[in-house]
Structure 1
Amino acid sequence: MLLQAVHHIAIICTDYHRSKTFYTDVLGLQVIREVYRAERDSWKLDLALGEQYIIELFSFPDPPARVSRPEASGLRHLAFAVADITAAVQQLQDKGVETEPIRLDPHTQQRFTFFSDPDGLPLELYEVRD
């Protein structure tokens, strides 16, 4: 098996239009394509970050809730790299998104923080400096 890269991350949301607004207007991801699948009563939104295809956002009627506490088994969180975490946090807060206090990773000495998408999915901003 010769893995090349992560291709995409699939997210199922409970309110398609609210989540679409969050990922595009708040986080700034670009829409690649949007498809309504009538046979499944489901939307599928492909999103990119810059030139990279990154997220498939799905909606389904009445999806079951999933545990999303950081220490639950399974996917812990989705992290986005930023050059200036202070500015990124301010941009989120200006759009009404609550963030945790910025912390310092004791192993890498990089700064990071967490926030949530509209369904409570934990998201992280991780400062990556040259």
Structure 2
Amino acid sequence: MLQAVHHIAIICSDYAESKRFYTEILGLETIRETYRKERDSYKLDLALGDTYVIELFSFPNPPARPSYPEAAGLRHLAFTVHDVEQETARLEAMGVKTEPVRMDPFTERAFTFFRDPDGLPIELYEEGGEAK
């Protein structure tokens, strides 16, 4: 029986840029960084608080993956925040373009979207509700 999500794996096209984005802008903590010489690939294990959440990978010349919000497959990655307006302002001040904040009609919680350096949609969802 499933107990929890263990991690989410992301392959990036520019390792240094994505590492900076996920650690310096989003504030995830580095658990471990490994260079795998035989694959010419980095693997960066990241945590949010005490929870291991993301494996960030680099590979030479990864193929592009078209991402559209309503296409089949992973739709987006969502993070809970205390105050969406405050976090959106912080991201905008760091040069991250965010969508206008909206209200979820079912939970009445604020949410917004932005993109990582490779265009992966990321959602901020105000705590107290369930992300859709």
For the residue of structure 2 that corresponds to 1:61, the secondary structure is coil
What whole-Å deviation, never above 9, does each CA across 1:42-67 have from its counterpart, x for those lacking one?
00000000000000000000101111
Equivalent position of 1:25 in the other structure = 24
Q: Structure 2: where are the runs of 5+ without partners?
A: none
For the residue of structure 1 that corresponds to 2:92, the secondary structure is helix
What whole-Å deviation, never above 9, does each CA across 1:6-58 have from its counterpart, x for those lacking one?
00000000000000000000000000000000100000000000000000000
Q: Structure 1: where are the runs of 5+ without partners?
A: none
When the two structures are superposed, what TM-score results if normalisation uses the length of structure 1?
0.97
Equivalent position of 2:45 in the other structure = 46
Equivalent position of 1:10 in the other structure = 9
Give the AA of the match of 1:35.
T
Superposed, 1:49-128 pairs within 5 Å as 49-128=48-127
When the two structures are superposed, what TM-score results if normalisation uses the length of structure 2?
0.96
Give the AA of the match of 2:33.
E
Q: How far apart in 1 are the matches of 2:39 and 2:128? A: 43
Give the AA of the match of 1:21.
R
For the residue of structure 1 that corresponds to 2:90, the secondary structure is helix
CA RMSD of aligned residues (A): 0.9
- Identical-pair percentage: 67
For the residue of structure 2 that corresponds to 1:90, the secondary structure is helix
4+ residue runs over 2 A deviation: none
Q: How far apart in 2 are the matches of 1:121 and 1:129? A: 24
* Equivalent residue pairs, number: 129
Q: How far apart in 1 are the matches of 2:31 and 2:126? A: 26
